[in-house]
């Protein structure tokens, strides 16, 4: 719960919430979320989701979170989502952190495929997924209403064998 203020610093922003299925969160709402996340995962046999805190190595400051959702146990399908504090954006931190979550998903949890969905207008998000080597699998056009306007959604994915084959530059 000591992370509530750090998470609120970005979950409370319209710029972070605008392409997510939630509105900017109050501190109380963030506290409720963080309590759920803390109650989440590793010690459970079959968690529904695990939320990872991303911290700076030097200071320990929390600068973002990455969620790994378990969508289909039999088909071993996962999904990722990410939110970072914009004051730490543009430095490659998400590019560094998301592969660590892939390692957990494909390695520890033996997932077969990890999906990432984003609004087509959310360029930083789809650029991040492209930079990570995920494949764009779909572009849904005006298939739903999102916050009152037609939704354009990209789906990106990575298969376990693609992850294994990818040259991670020794990392
Ligand atoms: C999606 C999100 C995490 C992307 O953040 P980001 O800052 O673009 O991503 P990174 O931290 O990996 O930084 C990449 C940028 O740093 C630059 N960079 C600097 N050093 C770098 C390094 N060592 N490695 C990689 N990139 C580096 C890259 O060139 C890139 O800059 P560019 O956007 O000008 O091309 C962020 O925009 C966010 O949290 N948005 C709000 C929440 C959201 O919409 N989530 C997705 C919902 S689907």
Q: Which residue has the tokens 């298939």?
A: 143
Question: Domain limits at 80?
Answer: 4-165
- pLDDT tens-place string over residues 100-112: 999 999 999 999 9
CATH number of the structural domain spanning residue 28: 3.40.630.30
Q: For the chain, what is the domain count?
A: 1
pLDDT at 171: 47
pLDDT at 97: 98
From CA 93, how far away is CA 64, in angstroms rounded? 9
From CA 126, how far away is CA 120, in angstroms rounded? 7
Q: Hey, which of 52, 92, 152 would you mutate to test ligand 1's pocket, going by the most ligand atoms within 8 Å of its Cβ?
A: 92
Which secondary-structure segment (H or E) carries 100?
helix 93-102
The tokens describing 92, both together, are 């490659």
- pLDDT tens-place string over residues 62-100: 999 999 999 999 999 999 999 999 999 999 999 999 999
Residue 170 lies in a domain: no
pLDDT at 123: 98
In this structure, the strands spanning 77-84 and 113-119 are: parallel
Would you place residue 170 in the very low, low, confident or very high pLDDT band (cuts 50, 70, 90)? Answer: very low
49 to 66, 67, 77, 142: CA distances (angstroms)? 10, 7, 12, 28
Residue 35 lies in a domain: yes
Residue 119 lies in a domain: yes
User: Is the CB of 92 within 6 Å of ligand 1?
Assistant: yes
């Amino acid at each position: 719960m000591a992370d509530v203020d750090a998470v609120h610093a970005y979950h409370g922003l319209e710029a972070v919430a605008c392409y997510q299925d939630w509105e900017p969160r109050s501190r109380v709402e963030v506290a409720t979320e963080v309590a759920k996340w803390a109650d989440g995962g590793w010690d459970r046999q079959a968690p529904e989701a695990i939320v990872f805190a991303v911290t700076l190595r030097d200071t320990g400051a929390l600068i973002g979170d990455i969620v790994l959702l378990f969508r289909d146990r039999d088909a071993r399908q996962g999904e990722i989502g990410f939110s970072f504090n914009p004051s730490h954006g543009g430095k490659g931190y998400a590019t560094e952190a998301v592969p660590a979550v892939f390692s957990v998903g494909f390695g520890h949890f033996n997932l077969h495929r990890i999906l990432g969905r984003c609004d087509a207008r959310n360029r930083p998000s789809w650029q991040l997924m492209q930079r990570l080597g995920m494949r764009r699998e779909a572009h849904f056009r005006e298939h739903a209403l999102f916050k009152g306007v037609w939704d354009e959604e990209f789906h990106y994915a990575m298969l376990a064998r693609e992850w294994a084959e990818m040259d991670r530059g020794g990392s």
